[in-house]
Amino acid sequence: MLKLDKEKEQAFHRILLLKKLALHLSFFKRVNVLCQVIEGQAAVHRCTCEVNFTGTEHPIIPPTVNDARIYEHVRRVSIDIVGEGNVELAPIFMGSEDFAFYLDKVPGSFLFLGMRNEKIGSIYLPHSPYYTIDEDVFPIGASIYAVFAHSYLSNSTRNLNSYD
């Protein structure tokens, strides 16, 4: 059995507590927790450190993380409107998206609409200088948003298992 002196044991328990808390915190609060963990680890080894996540030179943008429940609901709505073969899960990729600031505060889901139409050259992701928007899908997108909003609000006090 590993024996820790009192100071190291206390630091170890603080780190465990911080890790557990981090599971329930927003991105920016997690940054603060991460700083505390790093500083705690340094203290355990009788060192000091300086952690700087200010984002002064390069702003910190939180990761874009969909709320699982909202994502599943919008996926079901989308499948009903455009068919299962026309709904794809986007691959996970590193990058930043301003929408992440909303998702850090409010449950939601990021939806790529009309991302691939080779006939008009719509094959690049947004923020690419070659991105071409397929305006023909706007009515479909409006339908998805309208049905999602209606069904979500209609079921706000019920489970989102269905949206009839």
Domain that holds residue 84: 68-154
Residue 95 and residue 44 in one domain: no
Would residue 62 count as lying in a domain? no
pTM passes above 0.95: no
Q: What is the pLDDT of residue 164?
A: 46
Q: What is the pLDDT of residue 13?
A: 58
Residue 41 and residue 92 in one domain: no
Residue 78 and residue 123 in one domain: yes
Give the count of domains, the chain: 2
- pLDDT band (50, 70, 90) for residue 1: very low
- pLDDT band (50, 70, 90) for residue 62: confident
Residue 12 and residue 48 in one domain: yes
DSSP structure class, residue 137 = G
Residue 52 and residue 72 in one domain: no
User: Are residues 115 and 122 in contact, defined by beta-carbon separation less than 8 angstroms?
Assistant: yes
In order of 27, 109, 116, 119, the CA distances from 137 in angstroms are 33, 19, 11, 14
End-to-end CA distance of the chain: 58
Residue 50 and residue 15 in one domain: yes
Residue 46 and residue 107 in one domain: no
Residue 87 and residue 134 in one domain: yes
CA angle 40, 46, 50 (to 5 degrees): 55
Would residue 118 count as lying in a domain? yes
Q: What is the pLDDT of residue 2?
A: 47
CA angle 65, 128, 68 (to 5 degrees): 15
Q: What is the pLDDT of residue 63?
A: 81
Tokens of 29: 């609060």
